[in-house]
Structure 1
Amino acid sequence: MEGTNPVNKKLTAALSGGAVLVVALSGCSGSASKGNPKLDAWAKTVCDAVPAQDAKIKAANASISKAGDNNTAPDVLQKTDSQAFQDMSDGYKAIAAAINGAGAPPGVGDGAKRQQDVVKNLDSLAASYADLKKKVDALDTKDQGKFATGLHDVASQMAALENQNKSGTEALRNLEQGDVKDAIAKQPSCKKVAASTSATTG
């Protein structure tokens, strides 16, 4: 089983950046401003969609990490990674849908463009993870050598997703400027994600 284990650890390392994107939406603290009720309502719509998806994405990371730590059989590894990629794809797609459904943040200059940049980035990430799931599903678990080679290719593609993650994080931070940041920081659902993230990484 030596062929797949180091590769799955590489896959795990590549995946560790995935959950950072959601944190960008929640790990901010804003100043105590009187706020804009419409913007607060917008922030609530976005933030309320985050905890469940954030948990799903973190659990997907954890399942791949756990599989990488053990001497896991190829068929089990394939099933674990496939489900994890599906969950990540679903998670990012759901957050994109929530932000898209919320519309542009009220009273924010070029808010519509910033909002659509985030949606586009998250949808693109969701599609990339769906593609990785297809690649993992197509791997030959009966042939150890072929499986290890295929998994290596998947890990390389995962590493290439880092730029997409950076781009998505940047788009989220851009959306979060000024009053939007303050409105998001006040939402209990985003605070909850920020707290769970610092507990995990701290």
Structure 2
Amino acid sequence: MNKKCAAALSGGAVLVMALSGCTSDDDDNKVDDWAKSVCDQVQPQLKKISDANTSIQKQTADNSRPADVQRTDSAAFQQISDAYRAMGAAVEKAGAPPVEGGEATQKAAAKELKESSTAYAGLKKQVDGLDTKDQAKFADGLKGVAEELSEISKSGDQALQKLQSGEVGKAMAKQPGCQKPGATNSASPSSKT
């Protein structure tokens, strides 16, 4: 059950890490400045998401007790929720990117990041409510959390894809702050069965 949860969490983190998906030599200073202002705020949040994912993977590998799994997952979901909220605030604070349709793109991306934050906070609440004294109930509850997590990670990433497209995406791809943290490879934990 926990491996499914870790795999889905990894998928959610990939949604945000996708900001580094494009490359280009375009040197529009205004767009680069905008991208830098966002990416400088995004990098610490990407690290928090990566660290949360690592903590879930570690406790999955350790075959931890239900109470430990609950504690770890709850803390990880809170950390991810906070990170998404901070990224949404960074996108809002940066203002509209200086490109055609920039304001709509910025608002959509900020809204989606905040919705992701709310969704992860909901998962934390759901994990906190699981019965850790009954192994079977806990496993069933965790399965439900994993399924919901999978839906969250699949849900509308169109705003972020739009944000990372065109000139803005090219500028963001050049910013170190929008690169994946550490050298955490993109192999999902689902490959560990």
For the criterion TM > 0.5, the same-fold answer is: yes
- Residues 1:63 and 1:184: Cα distance change in structure 2 (over 3 Å): same
- Residues 1:84 and 1:72: Cα distance change in structure 2 (over 3 Å): same
Q: CA RMSD in A?
A: 1.8
Answer whether contact 1:27 1:194 (CA < 8 A) is retained: no
- Distance in 1 of aligned mates of 2:105 and 2:11: 22
> Percent of pairs identical after alignment?
49
One-letter identity of the residue aligned with 2:151? A
Aligned to 1:18: 12
CA apart distance, 1:163: 2.5
* Structure 1 runs, 4 residues or longer, greater than 3 Å off: 194-197
- Distance in 1 of aligned mates of 2:169 and 2:139: 44
Deviations 1:91-145 (A, max 9, x none): 1111111001111102x11111111111111111110100000011111112222
Aligned to 1:161: 152
- Distance in 1 of aligned mates of 2:139 and 2:165: 44
Aligned to 1:179: 167
- Distance in 2 of aligned mates of 1:52 and 1:19: 13
Aligned to 1:114: 105
Give the one of 102, 119, 124 matched to 2:115.
124
Structure with bigger gyration radius: 1
One-letter identity of the residue aligned with 1:97? A
CA apart distance, 1:147: 1.4
Aligned to 1:70: 62
- Distance in 1 of aligned mates of 2:170 and 2:134: 54
CA apart distance, 1:195: 7.1
Q: TM-score, normalised by structure 1?
A: 0.85
Q: Which runs of 5+ in 1 are unaligned?
A: 1-6
Q: TM-score, normalised by structure 2?
A: 0.89
Secondary structure class of the residue paired with 1:16: helix
Give the one of 123, 127, 138 matched to 2:129.
138
- Distance in 2 of aligned mates of 1:34 and 1:163: 33
Answer whether contact 2:46 2:180 (CA < 8 A) is retained: no
- Residues 1:158 and 1:195: Cα distance change in structure 2 (over 3 Å): closer
- Distance in 2 of aligned mates of 1:23 and 1:52: 12
Deviations 1:47-81 (A, max 9, x none): 10111110110111111111112221111110000
**2:31 aligned with 1:39:** yes
- Distance in 1 of aligned mates of 2:181 and 2:118: 29
Aligned length: 187
Aligned to 1:201: 186
Q: Which runs of 5+ in 2 are unaligned?
A: 188-193
Answer whether contact 1:22 1:50 (CA < 8 A) is retained: no
Secondary structure class of the residue paired with 1:201: coil
One-letter identity of the residue aligned with 2:176? P
- Distance in 2 of aligned mates of 1:196 and 1:27: 16
Answer whether contact 1:57 1:87 (CA < 8 A) is retained: yes
Secondary structure class of the residue paired with 2:63: coil
